[in-house]
Amino acid sequence: MKVPVIISVNGQKYEREVEPRLLLVHFLRDAVASTGTKIGCDTSQCGSCTVLLDGVSLKSCTALAVQVDGAEVTTIEGLATGETLHPLQDAFWEKHGLQCGFCTPGMILASHELLRTTPDPSDAQIRHGLEGNMCRCTGYQNIVRAVRHAAGTTAGQR
């Protein structure tokens, strides 16, 4: 049995018939072919699948597509404005906040959430705010620097 859903992804409405058990992350990656959102652990430990749901962060590997029917999802692909990077994307680039890049989409969107709720975080608040996101390459130092660099801009409001 399939269920109709209408989910907006990065400003584009998608009407799809989905299995009720379909995970949001698979809806994004398979039904919408928006593969920027990553699956790292399948169990919401690693945060690679973080997206924004109506502007608030959500780990998309433990949400069902049917749960977000009618909502607006923002993925990493929807963050830049044309060729202009979002300040967080630019900060991760500038501060070498990534190596292999696999955790980066989730890391940037989790940082987006952090700056939305805490616009000028301390290092401790950054580390706490990103504790649901794992990175194996960087050792986190440069991620913290990147978020600090982006803070104070309008990073969380856009």
Partner 1 sequence: MSARIFGSGIRRREDPRLITGTATYTDDLTMPRMVYAAMVRSPHAHAMVTSIDTSRAAAAAGVVAVYTHTDTEGGLQPAPCAWLLPDSELKIADYHCLAKDVVRYVGDIVAVVVAESRYAAEDALEFVEVAYEPLPSVIDPEAAATEGAPQLHADIDRNQAFHWTVAGGDVDAAFDQAEVVVSDRIIQQRLIPNAMEPRAALASYTTATGELTLWNTTQNPHIVRFLTSLVLGISEDKIRVIAPEVGGGFGSKIAAYPADFVTMFCSKKLGRPVKWTETRSENYQATTHGRDHVQQVEMAAKKDGTLLGLRCTVHAGMGAYLSTAAPGIPTILHGLMLSGVYTLPAVKEDVYGVYTNGTPVEAYRGAGRPEATFMLERMMDVLAAKLEMDPADIRKKNLIPKFEDGHEVVTTLNYDSGDYPGALDKVLSHADYSGLRAKQAAGPANGAYLGVGLATYVEICGLGPSQVAGAIGFQGGLWESAIVRFHPSGKVHVFIGASPHGQGEETTFAQIVGSELGVDPQDVKVFHGDTDTTPMGWGTYGSRTTAVGGAALALTARKIRDKAKVIAAHLLEAAVEDMDYEDGKFFVKGAPDQHKTITEIALMANVAWNLPAGIEAGLEA
CA distances from 74 to 67, 81, 120 (A): 15, 13, 23
13 vs 21, beta carbon nearer partner 1: 21
Q: Quick check: 52 and 71 in contact, CB under 8 A?
A: no
Indicate whether 80 belongs to the interface with partner 1 (CB under 8 A). Answer: yes
Indicate whether 105 belongs to the interface with partner 1 (CB under 8 A). Answer: yes
Find the Cα–Cα–Cα–Cα dihedral 31, 36, 39, 43, rounded to 10°: -90
Residue type, 93: W
Q: Give the interface segment with partner 1, choosing from 65-73, 75-83, 110-118, 123-131 (CB under 8 A).
A: 75-83
Indicate whether 42 belongs to the interface with partner 1 (CB under 8 A). Answer: yes
In sequence order, the 6+-apart residues with CB closer than 8 A to the CB of 138 are 96, 97, 98, 99
Binder among 5, 58, 65, 103 for partner 1 (CB under 8 A): 103
CB of 51 to partner 1, least distance (A): 10
Q: Give the footprint of partner 1 on this chain (CB under 8 A).
A: 19, 21-22, 26, 29, 33-43, 45-46, 48, 75-77, 79-80, 85, 89, 92-94, 96, 98-105, 108, 134-137
